């Protein structure tokens, strides 16, 4: 495949091939992260879309 190319062209082809692999791995990792975030985010409740307040004291900005 790279037999007729010079040393510089071979190095460039190897570099581009490695960058293609990095792009593929990063794309798979980001898709997996998006699926995990969607799976573990708390969903909305059936009570009109409002969630229950926690038991601790809430602070307000004045």
48 Cα distance to chain centroid: 31
Instruction: Give me 58's structure tokens.
Output: 């809430």
Domain ranges of the chain: 8-40
- Report yes or no on whether pTM surpasses 0.75: no
Residue with more model confidence, 16 or 53: 16
pLDDT tens string 31-62: 999 999 999 988 755 555 565 666 666 666 66
Measured at the CA of 24, the angle between CA 39 and CA 7, to 5 degrees, comes to 165
Classify residue 49 as left (phi > 0), alpha (psi -120 to 50) or beta. left
pLDDT at 24 over 70: yes
């Amino acid at each position: 495949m790279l037999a007729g190319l010079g040393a510089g062209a071979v190095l460039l082809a190897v570099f581009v091939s490695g960058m293609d692999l990095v792009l593929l791995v990063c794309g798979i990792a980001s898709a997996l992260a998006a699926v995990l975030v969607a799976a573990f985010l708390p969903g909305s409740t059936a009570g009109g879309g409002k969630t229950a307040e926690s038991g601790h004291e809430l602070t307000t900005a004045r």
